[in-house]
Structure 1
Amino acid sequence: MQITPVRDAIAAAAATVVLPAGIGRLKCTGYVPDAVLAPCFFVGEVEIVFDKTMGRGTDELLFTCRVLAGRQDDRSSQRIIDALLSGAGPASLKQALEEARGAPGEMALGGLADDLHVQRVQAYRWFEHAGSTYVGAELVVKVIGDGRT
């Protein structure tokens, strides 16, 4: 499984969320951006577990993704993050990402992986990024796929 196309596919899936009226679109990238235009979703660090099955059959990638909102005011920023972290609904990152799993029997992320799962949200807090402060959270996304490709 190749990491770069998987990163890009996760970001493309996140870009399908629909934020509440007046907020605009969620900016999404497969890599940590130099500068953030909030609200922003990006794929950050990756942990790799090789050889989950014998003969290089399956590898597991754990991506730490971040979603950040601006500091218009404490309450409105946190409401944006709350909508993105909800388990369902048009702004739900979990729902948008897991729709990229495809139909039963199909490969995930447009054929790049066997499956993916949004495992958890962690670190709901203030983040410092490129000299600015944002409210945000991390999502851990597990992707499994062929270790031979």
Structure 2
Amino acid sequence: MQPSLIRDAIAEAAAAVVLPDGIAKLTCTGHVPDAVVAPHFFCGEYTTTFDRAMRRALDELEFTCRVLVSRTDDRASQRILDSLLAGSGTTSLKAAIEAARGAPGDYALGGLAHDLHVMRMQGYRWYEHAGVQYVGAELIIKVIGEGSA
């Protein structure tokens, strides 16, 4: 698996969320940006566990992704963030990203991986990015795929 391609594909999938009228469209990147246009989703750090199956048959990548929301109004910002962190619905990052799993029997992320799973949300707090404060959270996403690819 190629981590850069996977990161970009996750960001592309996340961009499918639909926020309510009056809220800026979610911007998404597969890398840690120098600056963000909030609300913003990006793939940050990741770990790789090699050789989950013999002969390079399976590797596991675990991505720490962040979503940051402008804190112009703390209550409204947290409501927007909460909607992005919901487990289902049109505003749900989990639903949008897991839709990229494809149909049963298909490879995930347009053929880049065998499967993926948004495992958990963590770190719901204030974040500083490029000197600006945001309210945000992290999503942990597990991706599995062929190690020799």
- TM-score tier, shorter chain, comes to over 0.9
Q: 3-state SS of the aligned residue for 1:55?
A: coil
- Count of residue correspondences: 149
Unpaired runs of 5+ residues, structure 2, are none
Match of 1:114 in 2: 114
Match of 2:98 in 1: 98
Match of 1:27 in 2: 27
Match of 1:48 in 2: 48
Q: 3-state SS of the aligned residue for 1:100?
A: helix
Q: CA deviation at 1:36?
A: 1.1
Distance 1:130 1:6 in 2: 25
Match of 2:17 in 1: 17
Distance 2:71 2:92 in 1: 21
Q: Deviations over 1:41-81 (max 9, x none)?
A: 00000100000001111000000000000011100100110
Unpaired runs of 5+ residues, structure 1, are none
Give the counterpart letter for 1:68 in structure 2.
Answer: L
Give the counterpart letter for 2:22 in structure 1.
Answer: G
Distance 1:28 1:109 in 2: 16
Distance 1:19 1:32 in 2: 22
Q: CA deviation at 1:111?
A: 0.2
Q: TM-score, normalised by structure 1?
A: 0.99
Give the counterpart letter for 2:72 in structure 1.
Answer: Q
Structure 1 moving runs of 4+ over 4 Å: none
Q: TM-score, normalised by structure 2?
A: 0.99
Give the counterpart letter for 2:63 in structure 1.
Answer: F
Distance 1:119 1:88 in 2: 14
Q: 3-state SS of the aligned residue for 2:38?
A: coil
Q: What is the percentage of aligned positions where both structures have the same residue?
A: 66
Q: Alignment RMSD, CA only?
A: 0.5
Match of 1:147 in 2: 147
Distance 1:67 1:38 in 2: 9
